[in-house]
Structure 1
Amino acid sequence: MYEMLVGLEVSDNEIYAQYRAAMKPILATFEGAFGYDFMVSEVLLSQVSEPINRVFTINFPTQLSANNFFEDNDYQSIKSQYFEASVRNTVIIASYEKQA
């Protein structure tokens, strides 16, 4: 399983929730899923200067399926409509092959 640990600065929780609802059916077609999802009130240590207030894991069967999901035209349309209106910063904290 391929997993990514992602940090975001979500600026509008309502629009971000609409993004999540709209993208989940597409995510499922690529056999992707969220593992963990946290709202963060305080970051004590970070390797980037961008603020983070949301941290989650997203996983796929393979890195190729992750790449295909993120490049998918339907996903890109939803991202343009909702994600870009609700997220100020994105930080890929880590990506790795995870043992099941």
Structure 2
Amino acid sequence: MLTAWVLWCNGIPLELIDKCLDDSYTLSEALRCLHVALLCVQQRPEDRPNMSSAVLMLGSENPLPQPKQPGFFMGSNPPEKDTSSNKHQSYSANEVTVTELQAR
């Protein structure tokens, strides 16, 4: 399965749209929604639009900034084999950890 980012970079983002929608959408509006969605998942928070900006972006025809690679892009690395060296248990697909501090 190809990701939205890969489809966007390959110039075929409309492959993301469910075929059952047929022609019930406007091409330009669908592309704009996909564009704004990619802007909303940027790695750096300052690169992401806030909600009011995202709504304005969706409702206007103003040019949008080009999205960068999303923060949690799962590239084309092959899945790891189950070997003894990588049997660590991961609880998150993006390898994020949470540390809780407790008083003594």
TM-score (ref. length: structure 2): 0.24
Q: Structure 1 or 2: larger strand share?
A: 1
TM-score (ref. length: structure 1): 0.24
Larger CA Rg, structure 1 vs 2: 2
